[in-house]
Amino acid sequence: MKVAGYLKLSVAVALATIAMKTGAWWVSGSVSLLSDALESLVNLAGAIFALAMVTVAARPPDDDHPYGHHKAEYFSSGFEGVLIFAAALAIVWAAVQRLLAPQPLQAVGLGIVLSVLSSVLNAALAYGMLKKARAVRSMALEGDARHLFTDVWTSAGVVLGLLAVMATGWLWLDPVIAIAVALNIMREGGSLVRRSADGLMDHALEPQVIAEIERTLSGFAHPTIRFDHVVTRRAGQRRFVDLHMHMPAGWTLGRAAALRTSVEQALMAAVPGLRATIELLPTNVEAQFDDGRDAL
């Protein structure tokens, strides 16, 4: 299944879990179950926005975006993080009201059953989405999957808390659990926003990928051939590396170009989705960087 297919499935599952969790809150009156339902509402909004951004990211390069639209995925995770913060604040407000004016719970058993069923759906979907996200390096899909996993753990905490309320009769546990849920999803929201910002600021590739690039280049190293100024970055599912390749000044252009082609092909074979830009320089020439005139 493609990334967009997973996100469409995520929208459908979010609608189903909203219905079940809202029903769980309606029959029980539990504010912690209400907090769980609000988080599922965020799941729905996040999945819809992620689907929109993945569609944008898949567009080919154009005159205004010659490097493509891959970074659109980072807006998805950032947007979902902001939504999570908003949901957390709503949960805290509702929980504080219930803490100040405790109310007895009703039909808690049915509410727990509905919550558990929705969690099973979320867990199954999140596992498949995270596996696919790692395979294709989709930030939007990974963000949605991690939020679903957070939802699963949230629901588990809510269920355990409600069982404790049933066992002890302590009604104050219900709003306290809701506040704990809000703090947990707020932490997840902060993580999504931070990772989104990292991606928008041209974060370097993962250390293991950089190591693979270095191993590939070392296979071409020679006393007369060297590589330097290796710089990497990532944009959504796409990976980039820029570098300089130094070779003897007496080589013909055809020989130099043939070697560069071999290096590019080796890099792209070693790192799927990589785009390499290699500048050719004579062995005794160094590139100049950090011109003082560029300083602010």
Return the pLDDT at 289: 56
Q: Per residue in 206-238, pLDDT tens?
A: 888 899 999 999 999 888 899 988 998 877 667
Which residues lie below 8 Å from residue 131, measured CB to CB, with a gap of 6+?
none
Q: Where are the domains of the chain?
A: 3-200, 207-294
Q: What is the largest CA-CA distance in the chain?
A: 87
Q: How far is CA 195 from CA 117, 188, 201, 239, in A?
A: 31, 11, 10, 16
Residue 67: pLDDT band with limits 50, 70, 90: confident
Instruction: From 271, 265, 270, select the one nearest 234 (Cα to Cα).
Output: 271
Place of tokens 């297919």: 5
Secondary element (H or E) of residue 177: helix 173-200
Q: pTM higher than 0.75, yes or no?
A: no
Dihedrals φ, ψ of 170, to 5°? -80, 100
Q: Are 228 and 240 in contact (CB under 8 A)?
A: no
Domain 3-200 has what CATH class? Answer: mainly alpha
Instruction: Please state which CATH number belongs to domain 207-294.
Output: 3.30.70.1350
Residue 255 Cα to chain centre, angstroms: 43
Place of tokens 């498949």: 128
User: Regarding beta strands 226-235 and 274-282, do their DSSP bridges make them parallel or antiparallel, or are they unpaired?
Assistant: unpaired
Residue 170: pLDDT band with limits 50, 70, 90: confident
Return the pLDDT at 296: 43
* d(C-alpha 156, C-alpha 179), whole Å: 15
Return the pLDDT at 245: 92
Q: Per residue in 3-23, pLDDT tens?
A: 677 778 778 888 888 888 888
Average pLDDT over every residue of 60-73? 76
Q: How many Cβ atoms from other residues are within 10 Å of residue 185's Cβ? A: 25
3-state secondary structure of 220: coil
Helical pair 108-136 and 139-168, crossing angle rounded to 10 deg:
160
Residue 292: pLDDT band with limits 50, 70, 90: very low
